[in-house]
């Protein structure tokens, strides 16, 4: 059954992909977010021409095939575009077989515990504590991650004293049962990170994410070996050689692949296996409420070495207005601290037709 048409629907942050095969069956996926107009150009120039006319049945090999044809371009944008193809093909397979994607890859639909993930560094410690407490009281969310240091900040805090202040404020403000995590987004050198890590240990934080520049794994390894709490990372890494190396050298305690930065679910499943063979758990990275979080729900609910919760962005319209109204209904509804994967074919979501109508449309198709 040949792939006959690849259509894209693009706004500046998000680009959806619609794949059509010979019998008219369709599936929807999404490329990785941000600079979606650039990724969309890559999709039609470097992905679609290799895919049109290929058999849909071989789709777990298609990304590798494109990667070989475009082997001079092993970087992020090609993978971001491939994520759109791969996730559309999984949706199509689910619809053809009348199964949710989670069931196609060895899991079951149902509830999944979340942790509330803050994306803000420009928020005061008190305001951060207040919104965590609100989500704890109103939605039952009982694990949270907040930001320390500054993003790739060369050791400098977002503002002087913020990190020590927010770590202590969150610890003293939240219910004792709440799991507390932090993300440094590559801020510190290893000496600084170990010092911050002691502060975290004294304040009941259990997870220290990306303490050092992610491209310096030897720095991160020193932190991992020096602290009692979990050091975590991996969201930026999208090369299987790097993944095998990071796991072999035990660079962190918990690994965090991003389904869409990697190039889709097919490759994420390979990474999960590498992590599993190393004896580690996988708590994927998913930082906004576009299709990446839906795909990660299905992924996390199926893998053998899943961490205890799904990353779930707590940012709304004020911070990420572009993620509003992407889908019909509310696939991200939280109840008792959990989201739910429905027993619905494919990814189980309907992309909002009004959003699609207002996007930039482009298609690549087989010429008869
Ligand atoms: Mg992170």
Cα–chain-centroid distance for residue 96?
26
Residue in the block written with tokens 């507390």: 180
Residue 313 CA, ligand 1 centroid: distance in Å: 11
Q: What is the pLDDT, as a whole number, of residue 316?
A: 93
- The predicted structure's pLDDT at residue 204: 98
- What angle, rounded to 10 degrees, do the helices at 190-202 and 162-173 form? 20
Which is the CATH superfamily of the domain at 3-98+348-365? Enolase-like, N-terminal domain (3.30.390.10)
Contact by Cβ (8 Å): 277, 304: no
Q: What is the pLDDT along the chain (368 residues), one digit of tens a residue?
A: 999 999 999 999 999 999 999 999 999 999 999 999 999 999 999 999 999 999 998 888 999 999 999 999 999 999 999 999 999 999 999 999 999 999 999 999 999 999 999 999 999 999 999 999 999 999 999 999 999 999 999 999 999 999 999 999 999 999 999 999 999 999 999 999 999 999 999 999 999 999 999 999 999 999 999 999 999 999 999 999 999 999 999 999 999 999 999 999 999 999 999 999 999 999 999 999 999 999 999 999 999 999 999 999 999 999 999 999 999 999 999 999 999 999 999 999 999 999 999 999 999 999 86
Tell me what pLDDT residue 57 has. Answer: 87
Q: Which CATH number fits domain 102-341: 2.60.40.10, 3.40.1440.10, 3.30.420.10, 3.20.20.120?
A: 3.20.20.120
Distance 230 CA to ligand 1 centre (A): 14
Structure confidence at residue 368 (pLDDT): 67
Contacts of residue 58, defined as CB under 8 A and 6 or more positions apart, other chains included, come to: none
Sequence-separated (6 or more) residues with CB below 8 Å from residue 166: 125, 128, 146, 147, 148
342 CB-contact burial (10 Å; exposed 0-12 / middle 13-18 / buried 19+): middle
pLDDT of residue 317: 94
Question: Ligand 1: distance of its center to the CA of 184 in Å?
Answer: 7
Contact predicate 209/184, CB 8 Å: yes
Give me the DSSP letters along 161-210. THHHHHHHHHHHHS-TTSEEEEE-TT---HHHHHHHHHHHHHTTEEEEE-
235 Cα–ligand 1 center, Å = 6
pLDDT in tens, 24-47: 999 999 999 999 999 999 999 999
Ligand 1 mean position to 210 CA, how many Å? 6
d(CA 11, CA 45): 18
CA 40 to centroid of chain Cα atoms: 19
Q: In the chain, where does the domain assigned CATH 3.20.20.120 lie?
A: 102-341
Query: Ligand 1 centre from 262 Cα, in Å?
Result: 15
Q: How many CA atoms lie within 13 A of 208 on its CB side?
A: 35
The CA 63 to ligand 1 mean position distance, Å, reads 26
Q: How far does residue 335's CA lie from ligand 1's centre (Å)?
A: 24
Q: How far is the CA of 120 from the centre of ligand 1 (A)?
A: 12
- Spatial CA neighbour of 337 closest among 116, 102, 109: 116
């Amino acid at each position: 059954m040949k792939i006959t048409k690849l259509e894209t629907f693009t706004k500046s942050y998000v680009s959806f992909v619609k794949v059509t095969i010979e019998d008219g069956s369709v599936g929807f996926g999404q490329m990785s977010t941000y600079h979606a107009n650039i990724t969309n150009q890559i999709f039609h120039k470097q992905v679609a021409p290799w895919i049109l006319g290929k058999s849909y049945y071989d789709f777990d090999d298609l990304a590798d095939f494109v990667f070989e044809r475009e082997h001079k371009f092993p970087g992020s944008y090609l993978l971001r575009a491939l994520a759109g193809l791969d996730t559309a093909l999984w949706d199509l397979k689910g619809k053809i077989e009348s199964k949710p994607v989670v069931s196609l890859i060895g899991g079951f639909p149902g509830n999944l515990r979340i942790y509330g993930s803050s994306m803000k560094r420009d928020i005061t410690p008190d305001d951060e504590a207040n919104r965590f407490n609100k989500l704890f009281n109103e939605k039952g969310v009982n694990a949270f991650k907040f930001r320390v240091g500054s993003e790739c900040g060369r050791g400098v805090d977002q503002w002087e004293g913020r990190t020590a202040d927010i770590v202590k404020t969150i610890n003293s403000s939240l219910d004792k049962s709440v799991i507390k995590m932090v993300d440094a987004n590559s801020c510190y050198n290893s000496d600084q990170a170990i010092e911050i890590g002691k502060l975290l240990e004294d304040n009941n934080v259990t997870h220290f994410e990306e303490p050092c520049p992610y491209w310096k794994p030897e720095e991160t390894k020193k932190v991992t070996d020096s602290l009692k709490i979990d050091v975590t990372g991996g969201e930026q890494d999208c090369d299987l050689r790097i993944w095998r190396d990071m796991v072999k050298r035990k660079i962190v305690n918990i690994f965090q692949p991003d389904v869409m930065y990697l190039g889709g679910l097919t490759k994420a499943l390979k990474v999960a296996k590498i992590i599993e063979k190393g004896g580690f758990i996988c708590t994927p990275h998913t930082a906004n409420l576009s299709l990446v979080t839906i795909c990660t729900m299905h992924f996390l609910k199926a893998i053998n070495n899943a961490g205890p919760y799904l990353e779930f962005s707590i940012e709304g319209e004020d911070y990420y207005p572009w993620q509003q109204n992407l889908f019909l209904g509310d696939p991200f509804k939280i109840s008792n601290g959990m989201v739910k994967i429905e027993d619905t074919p494919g990814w189980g979501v309907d992309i909002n037709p009004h959003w699609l109508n207002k996007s930039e449309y482009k298609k690549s198709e087989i010429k008869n």
